[in-house]
Amino acid sequence: GIQVEQSPPDLILQEGANSTLRCNFSDSVNNLQWFHQNPWGQLINLFYIPSGTKQNGRLSATTVATERYSLLYISSSQTTDSGVYFCAVPRGYGNKLVFGAGTILRVKS
Amino acid sequence: GAGVSQSPRYKVAKRGQDVALRCDPISGHVSLFWYQQALGQGPEFLTYFQNEAQLDKSGLPSDRFFAERPEGSVSTLKIQRTQQEDSAVYLCASSLAPGQRKETQYFGPGTRLLVL
């Protein structure tokens, strides 16, 4: 099956710093989602981004499908950005999601 | 509108007990998924429903796990004779349309199951 790898596994930032999270996948995909799992465990949709670039406030994402990777940019990080960031791709009948292992982000004030 | 809801939010069970976890998807969503998330890992697929039909149960770890969605809306995941390795967060997600690669899945808050 498809492999989804995320890097770095964890990241500590000072408030106000910028960061880039990476997601590599081993096969072609028609869709990719980025999620933020907050400290209470809720998975929050950030982006649906099969290709190209999207921006939402301080967050933006870019997927280069031909090179099988996606990037999530966080600018001017805030303590509320802390949590785990997952990328996921659909596979198989029904489009069940295959998740990466996540990047743990801690933003210090 | 309301998102995906799950109950209970927390469940402590003694080993060997049966448990039932409930998911209320977003109204009108045809597709419903269950995932299991072990501590420190990403969610892993368990089973998929399109309306009331269970079309993929390839991720269920054993025959102790059973899921149903009898009227095509609310779903229940049942675990019989729970074991300690069943301790995890069980996540439910729904999406609007089946089989279309561009439909976003929306997740509930999860049920944290601890088996003692």
Express each pLDDT in A62-103 by its tens digit. Answer: 999 999 999 999 999 999 999 999 999 988 877 899 999 999
Would an 8 Å CB–CB cutoff place A87 in contact with chain B?
A: no
Q: A with B: how many residue pairs have Cβ under 8 Å apart?
A: 69
- Please tell me which residue of chain B has the smallest CA distance to A44: B107
Give how far Cα A86 sits from Cα of A37, A63, B87, Å.
Answer: 8, 14, 21
Cβ within 8 Å, pair B44-A99? yes
Secondary structure class of A80 (helix, strand, coil): helix
Q: pLDDT tens across B24-63, in order?
A: 999 999 999 999 999 999 999 999 999 999 999 999 999 9
Question: In degrees to the nearest 10, what's the CA dihedral of A3, A104, A54, A26?
Answer: -10
The answer to whether the Cβ–Cβ distance between A101 and B41 falls below 8 Å is yes
Beta pairing class for A96-99 and A103-108 = unpaired
> Is the pLDDT assigned to residue A21 strictly greater than 80?
yes
Per-residue confidence (pLDDT) for residue B34, from 0 to 100: 98
Q: Which pLDDT band holds residue B102 (cuts at 50, 70, 90)? A: low
**Chain A neighbors of B31, CB-CB under 8 A:** 94-95
Q: Which stretches does DSSP call E strand in B1-116? A: 5-7, 10-13, 19-24, 31-37, 44-50, 53-56, 65-68, 75-79, 88-95, 106-107, 111-115
Q: Which of A43, A93, A100 sits opposite B107 (nearest CB)?
A: A43
Tokens 């009108």 sit on residue: B28
Residues from chain A that touch B55, judged by Cβ atoms under 8 A, are 93-94
In order of B26, B57, B58, B74, B82, the CA distances from B18 in angstroms are 27, 19, 21, 19, 6
- Residue A49 is encoded by which pair of tokens? 């981004």
Extract the runs of DSSP E, i.e. beta strands, from A1-109.
Answer: 4-7, 10-14, 19-25, 33-37, 43-48, 52-56, 59-64, 69-74, 83-91, 96-99, 103-108
Given CB atoms, is A39 within the 8 Å cutoff of chain B? Answer: no
CB distance A94–B56 less than 8 Å? yes
CB atoms within 10 A of CB B5: 15
CB contact under 8 A, A97 and B33: yes
Distance of CA A6 to the CA centre of its chain: 8
Span between the terminal Cα atoms of chain A, in Å? 41
Give the C-alpha separation, A55 to A36, whole Å.
15
